[in-house]
Amino acid sequence: MVTGGGRGIGKMLTIGLLEAGAKVYISSRKQADLDTAVTELSPLGDISAFAADLGTTDGVQALADHITEREHAVHALFNNAGANWGAPLEEFPDTAWDRVMNLNVKGVFSLTRTLLPLLRAASKPEDPARVVNIGSIDGIRAPAPGLNNFSYSASKAAVHLLTQQLATTLAPDILVNAIAPGLFESKMTAGILALGQDKITSQIPLKRIGRPDDMAGIAVFLAGPHSTYITGAVIPVDGGIAAGR
């Protein structure tokens, strides 16, 4: 299960999992995005979609019910759906703060909790079920001055700590890890990339933004057989930004 799987990083995760042979369910708020993704990615493998707003209790339950009606077990849940908001501190609205926190943090917690029966049903001693939360490099170090994404960076730091607490709580049956992406091409990063890739990549040790294969690779690794001794980790996939902070 990949939330926010219709575009951006979620789509990159989905492609990697499909190419590795997984059956994948994706979700997002917008049916049009899901329809486009399913049409494009169906040649890669078994993919289906369900529209739900995971920033709401009803949306979380609707998605969980949809999966439960179709599957007796879920091997891996990728909590990727997220929102961002930017505004000067003095103008930052409470409604935007709540929207970001409800989806980015509460939604991760609520969907994981609701799908625990299916995750436990998939878990085996030699191959535990997986939860992979998508955090951010902005949850590891403070964003650059002027980005003004106060709720986003705070929410991703919360996701990282939530990952660690869930990992200890759910061990040994379920492995819980987080990916902290750096700069990848998506709707959310379009404003930053509009400043010019040369200017942006000069600040990244590896001198480039992330590629889809970079995200696909870590997704397959964390869902696959070679990561069974890793839990509670927050893994930067950022071209070296965290190391150079």
Active site residues: 152
Distance from C-alpha of 100 to C-alpha of 114, rounded to nearest angstrom: 20
Place of tokens 């890890």: 177
H or E element: which one contains 234? Answer: strand 234-237
Please report which residue ranges of the chain form alpha helices under DSSP H: 8-19, 31-41, 57-70, 94-101, 107-114, 116-122, 150-170, 190-193, 197-201, 212-223
- Does 172 sit behind a cis peptide bond, omega within 30 degrees of 0 on the bond before it? yes
Cα-based angle 22, 217, 102 (whole degrees, multiple of 5): 80
